[in-house]
């Protein structure tokens, strides 16, 4: 390769590197008019699982990747546009093979012809969600419009759902960190899908995909199960509208109707999801006798866990978290005399891993932090918890108004 060509590439390299999160443009398509409707566009939250940790694509200038899904059946279309592409023969460097990198995260049967894709859209009008409708709720928006949403409980045995799930799960790598596909032949998986229900002529309805949730039922001795909420997705056009709170609460209450449930847990929740879960559980526990304001300063008690487990199937860890949030709600954090007892109570729990009594044996002092190090660790952890808890407290206060 000529030195001049290499120098020219180095001088202009930035224009051939783009953010994958900006380049990838999602749209949920209802009809062909949406192809050019930029108001429908939304971008992925992440792309490191496809394009690497830097989330960059190399070799194209002004790159745009259109990834369309039909709004009901989730049929896919992939299109690419760019103003310029590096010539590997001229510059001696390979550009990113976008199709190859994305092949695992494209909906099965994804086409690259808009004419072909338009024919798929015609089939959307015949779609009805798989499984039984198990929950319905409404949302009223600022402009006064009211929309209806429904949650369905399909089975992998329902005709067509296996293929539908294959298309549905391709959102995960873009919107759920550390996501992976599940073994759909494992009968312990349960599925919940959420749709916006819109009226059409003659009493018919269109169902627009909103999101979905998977739950894995672990065995618990001797004859119980522990449902673990695994994947939980609400698409960006429907986020910040209360859907995650509504759906998570509904799913937990559905499990409460089953007699063989030991407790309900969540797999590696994100900060946002944990905050939603905390709010729901606090809201459901706040009127319990053991969580009344006058009893909270007495500390965490066995009866708190027993009541939460019996009525809400919460485990001990989540119950303790609810106690700490509700006690914080009733603590004046600007008053040191009020905050100090709360701080000490939380730090006693945080200190347990450092105590020999916790393990029933003598710990190796050589691997234990010094007193100063332990103080700094506990102070840092306490500050982190306050950052997690305060938004929940704020939302609980608003909810009470």
Q: Which of 125, 160, 190 is the last residue in one of the domains? A: 125
pLDDT in tens, 139-170: 998 888 999 999 999 999 999 999 999 999 99
User: What is the predicted pLDDT for the residue at 100?
Assistant: 95
Q: Is 94 noted as a catalytic residue in this protein?
A: no
Rounded to an integer, what distance in angstroms lies between the CA atom of residue 273 and that of residue 52? 24
Among residues 104, 132, 204, 267, the one annotated as catalytic is 267
Which of 205, 236, 268 lies at the terminal end of a domain, its last residue? 268
Contacts (Cβ under 8 Å, ≥6 apart) of 221: none
Q: What is the C-alpha to C-alpha distance for residues 310 and 185, in angstroms, rounded to an integer? A: 32
Output the pLDDT for position 2: 47
Find tokens 């001797």 and name the residue: 222
Averaged pLDDT of the chain = 92
Tell me the CATH number at 311: 1.10.10.390
pLDDT given at position 9:
59
Contacts of 197 (CB under 8 A, 6+ apart): 148, 149, 150, 205, 206, 207
Per-residue pLDDT reduced to its tens digit, 194-206: 999 999 877 789 9
| Domain span including residue 200 | 129-268
Record the tokens describing residue 133, joined without a space.
């409708």
Task: Tell me the pTM.
Answer: 0.91
**What is the predicted pLDDT for the residue at 1?**
44
Contact 325, 393 (CB under 8 A): yes
Q: Quick one: pLDDT at residue 178? A: 87
Helical H segments across 42-104, by residue range:
48-51, 88-91, 98-102
Q: What is the pLDDT of residues 332-390, one digit of tens each?
A: 999 999 999 999 999 999 998 877 554 455 555 556 778 788 889 999 999 999 999 99
Stretch among 45-59, 68-82, 347-361 having the lowest mean pLDDT? 347-361
How far is it, in rounded angstroms, from Cα 210 to Cα 195? 5
Query: Residue 282: is its pLDDT beyond 80?
Result: yes
Do 133 and 234 belong to one domain? yes
Q: Which is more confidently placed, 266 or 365?
A: 266
Contact 256, 312 (CB under 8 A): yes
Q: Are residues 220 and 333 in the same domain?
A: no
Identify whether residues 281 and 258 lie together within a single domain. Answer: no
Residue 10 has pLDDT above 70, yes or no: no
Give the integer Cα–Cα distance in Å for 226 and 245.
21
Beta strands 265-266 and 60-61 are: unpaired
Per-residue confidence at 124, pLDDT binned at 50, 70, 90? Answer: confident
Q: What is the pLDDT of residue 5?
A: 56
According to the model, what pLDDT value does residue 311 have?
95
What DSSP line would sit under 236-281, residue for residue? GGGTTSSHHHHHHHHHHHHHHT-TTB---EESS--HHHHHHHHHHH
57 pLDDT more than 80: yes
* Domain tally, the chain: 3
68-89 b/e with 16+ CB inside 10 Å = b?
bbbbbbbbbbbbeebeeebeee
Regarding whether 142 and 47 lie in a shared domain, the answer is: no
């Amino acid at each position: 390769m000529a030195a001049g060509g290499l120098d020219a590439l180095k001088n202009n390299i930035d224009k051939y590197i783009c953010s994958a999160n900006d380049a990838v443009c999602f749209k949920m398509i209802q009809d062909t008019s949406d192809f050019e409707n930029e108001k429908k566009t939304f971008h992925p939250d992440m792309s490191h699982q496809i394009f690497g940790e830097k989330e960059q694509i190399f070799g194209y200038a002004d790159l745009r990747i259109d990834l369309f899904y039909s709004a009901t059946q989730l049929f896919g279309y992939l299109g690419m546009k760019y103003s310029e592409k590096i010539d590997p023969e001229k510059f001696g460097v390979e550009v990113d093979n976008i199709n190859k990198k994305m092949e695992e995260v494209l909906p099965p049967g994804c086409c690259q012809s808009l004419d072909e894709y338009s024919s798929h859209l015609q089939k959307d009008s015949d779609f009805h969600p798989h499984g039984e409708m198990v929950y319905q709720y409404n949302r009223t928006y600022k402009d006064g419009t009211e929309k209806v949403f429904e949650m369905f409980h399909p089975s992998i045995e329902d005709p067509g759902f296996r293929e539908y799930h294959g298309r549905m799960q391709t959102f995960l790598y873009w919107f759920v960190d550390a996501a992976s596909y599940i073994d759909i032949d494992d009968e312990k998986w349960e599925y919940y899908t959420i749709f916006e229900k819109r009226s059409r002529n003659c009493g018919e309805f269109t169902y627009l995909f909103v999101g979905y949730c998977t739950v894995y039922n672990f065995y618990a001795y001797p004859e119980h199960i522990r449902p673990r909420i695994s994947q939980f997705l609400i698409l960006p056009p429907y986020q910040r509208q209360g859907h995650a709170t509504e759906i998570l609460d509904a799913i937990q209450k559905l499990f409460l109707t089953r007699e063989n449930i030991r407790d309900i847990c969540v797999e590696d929740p994100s900060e946002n999801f944990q905050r939603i879960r905390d709010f729901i559980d606090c809201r459901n526990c706040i009127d319990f006798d053991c969580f009344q304001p006058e009893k909270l300063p007495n500390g965490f008690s066995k009866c708190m866990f027993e009541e939460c487990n019996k009525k809400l199937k919460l485990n001990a860890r989540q119950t303790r978290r609810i106690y700490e949030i509700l006690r914080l709600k009733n603590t004046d954090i600007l008053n040191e005399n009020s905050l100090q007892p709360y701080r000490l109570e939380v730090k006693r729990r945080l200190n347990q891993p450092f105590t020999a009594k916790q393990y029933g044996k003598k710990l190796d002092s050589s691997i234990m932090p010094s007193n100063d190090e332990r103080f700094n660790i506990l102070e840092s952890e306490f500050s982190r918890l306050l950052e997690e808890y305060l938004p929940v407290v704020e939302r609980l206060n608003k909810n009470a108004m």
